[in-house]
């Protein structure tokens, strides 16, 4: 491997993102090339300073009350996603089918195809 090839891969090398075969070739080149070792040392130092600075900033950061509130709403939505539209519609027109809608929403293990077929059968039975 020559200096130009090492130069193209050096950031990936620092980040541990090169294949083991490339890593071996880069290390062999670095063992015999002082300018590339200096470049590696300089880039590694810069990366360390940037990483430390970002970690320091992140440790001191805190979201605004509005941002925190929006985050909590999004997390709650992910924990309890809205029911798919057919189930919402079914609950409105037939509130007594709670156990069935629970089954369709995954309250019990059920294949998606069977759940859809059950929903369609209910819709036909209800005359819609």
pLDDT at 25: 97
Does residue 30 lie within any of the structural domains? yes
Does residue 70 lie within any of the structural domains? no
Same domain, yes or no: 50 and 97: no
Same domain, yes or no: 55 and 15: yes
pLDDT at 122: 62
Same domain, yes or no: 93 and 55: no
Q: What angle do CA 110, 77, 55 make, to 5 degrees?
A: 120
pLDDT at 114: 55
pLDDT at 109: 45
Number of domains the chain contains: 2
pLDDT at 108: 46
Does residue 120 lie within any of the structural domains? yes
Same domain, yes or no: 56 and 101: no
Same domain, yes or no: 37 and 85: no
Distance spanning both ends of the chain, measured CA to CA: 72
Does residue 100 lie within any of the structural domains? yes
* Average pLDDT per block of 10 residues along the chain, 128 residues long: 94 92 97 96 92 84 81 78 58 55 49 57 61
Does residue 41 lie within any of the structural domains? yes
42-60 core/surface letters (b: 16 or more CB in 10 A; e: else): eeeeeeeeeeeeeeeeeee
Give the residue among 72, 2, 76 at the shortest CA–CA distance from 35. Answer: 2
Same domain, yes or no: 9 and 56: yes
Which residue range is the domain that position 113 belongs to?
A: 80-125
pLDDT at 35: 96
């Amino acid at each position: 491997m020559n200096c130009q090839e090492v130069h193209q891969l050096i950031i990936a090398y620092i980040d541990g993102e090169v294949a083991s075969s490339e890593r071996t070739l880069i290390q062999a080149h670095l063992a015999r090339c002082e300018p590339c070792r200096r470049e590696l040392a300089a880039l590694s130092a810069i990366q360390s300073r940037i990483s430390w600075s970002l970690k320091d900033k992140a440790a001191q950061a805190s979201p605004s009350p509005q941002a925190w509130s929006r985050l909590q709403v999004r997390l709650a939505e992910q924990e309890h996603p809205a029911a798919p539209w057919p189930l919402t519609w079914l609950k409105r027109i037939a509130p007594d089918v709670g156990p069935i809608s629970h089954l369709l929403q995954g309250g019990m293990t059920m294949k998606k195809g069977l759940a859809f077929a059950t929903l369609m059968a209910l819709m036909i039975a209800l005359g819609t």
